[in-house]
Amino acid sequence: MNSWRLLTIVSIGSLVLACTGQPTTTTQPSGSPTIEPFSASPAPATASPTASPTASLTEAPTPTASPTAEPTATPTPPPAGSLAEVEAYCDLIDRAAVEAVLGAPISDTQLERSRSGGAWCLYATGDFEDDPGENVLVSFDRTPNLSRWTPGTGWDARQEYEARRQALEGRPQEIADLGTAAVWDRRHELHALVEPDVLLEVLFMESALDPLVGLAAGIVDQLAVASPPSLNPPIACRLLSFEDVEAATGRDVIHVNESAEFNPATTCDFSGPFPGFEFELSTLRIVLFRTEDIRAWLALDKSADFVPAEIRAQAESYTARQWLMDLGLYGAAFLIDGEEPGPKGQPIDVDGACAAYWFPGDDVFEPRFEAAFGQDEYLVLLLDWEDGVGVARQLAEIAAERLTTERGGELSPCG
């Protein structure tokens, strides 16, 4: 019944919110350019080689002793799937070149992860929370994340570049001597392919060609010096694979759409074709809340817009299991009519879960499985109306097993 309906979870401000009945398209952060980028997604991150630090030599106590190199601590990489991974890409961008495109000083900046798992760097002359004014989005995608975004196809940066070039409206103009290939549509988009596997995109409101080429050329030059490592998938996308979803639901997955960790949840959306619809729709979504992410988020001033003061006051001790029981998927501030805070549906027994709930869906809300695994993990599966609790149990078991591995082989006790 109503199998076409979907629940799209989007990150607005810093909370997971709900919208119904929307096709799966690229969702832009508040204040980003009004044009929709052709989404592409991240791929398995490749470990970047770490440059060997210059060895410091110690004086030998006797002439016959050999100098010895003192080890230098290797910097800790940012958490896999985090916004911190995006920073390395945004650092390639010359802010003065961005201001040349904007025609005014930069007033506000945002870093985001794209649904394709790439990096978004946003710049505005105004305020993203109020009125962004003129704004520019610079995005980066690489073959590893693009192949994750379009699983099982071998999709790469060159193929995505060609797809974006073909999708440009009007009379797109090729740009010579910018990366391997580059094109712009004279209106709102510039795309450049940079060897070996980086796809650069600039979305803008209005701009002449020269400032755009200057901005893009500076980034291309920086990539030639030091290309940052590919971005990792967020933890939610590491808990289920597209093969898991296809096997459990019997539906094809075309795209695996990623989100940034952790604000306070991380989401992975699997989308595919639905009969009678031109757009692909969400076929299954997994959402994960973790205690450490919730506590860090509750300590931020902006959390006051989304949760009650009495919960914010518990920022140092609040757990994911408490979030399930007190707030549920949508928190307290953004509830669809008829929705209540806390878990939805009836309690069920699930191996390894401290608390679990199943809602079979109705004319308004899609089926939902929710469970707390230990005190520190709150897992949600949003399914289609044709899916039953058996599908939810099958996928939850897989996700819980991988979550245990992610946590070093043991989840926290129920307490």
| pLDDT tens per residue, range 16-65 | 333 333 333 333 333 333 222 223 333 333 333 333 333 332 333 444 44
Residue 97 has pLDDT above 80, yes or no: yes
pLDDT bracket for residue 171 (50, 70, 90): confident
Q: Domain map of the chain by residue range?
A: 7-26+233-406, 84-225
Convert the pLDDT of each residue in 203-217 to its tens digit.
998 788 899 999 999
The structure's pTM equals 0.80
Neighbours of 402 (CB within 10 A): 16
Q: Which residue has the higher pLDDT, 302 or 324?
A: 324
Q: Is 393 helix (H, G, I), strand (E, B) or coil?
A: helix
pLDDT at position 318: 97
Q: Are strands 281-290 and 346-347 parallel, antiparallel or unpaired?
A: unpaired
Convert the pLDDT of each residue in 402-411 to its tens digit.
999 999 999 9
Name the E strands within 55-94. Answer: 56-57, 69-70
Q: Are strands 189-194 and 119-124 parallel, antiparallel or unpaired?
A: unpaired
Burial of 24 (0-12, 13-18, 19+ CB in 10 A): buried
Per CATH, the number for 84-225 is 3.40.1000.20
pLDDT bracket for residue 110 (50, 70, 90): very high
Does residue 32 contact residue 120 with C-beta atoms inside 8 Å?
yes
As beta bridge partners, residue 139 has 120, 201
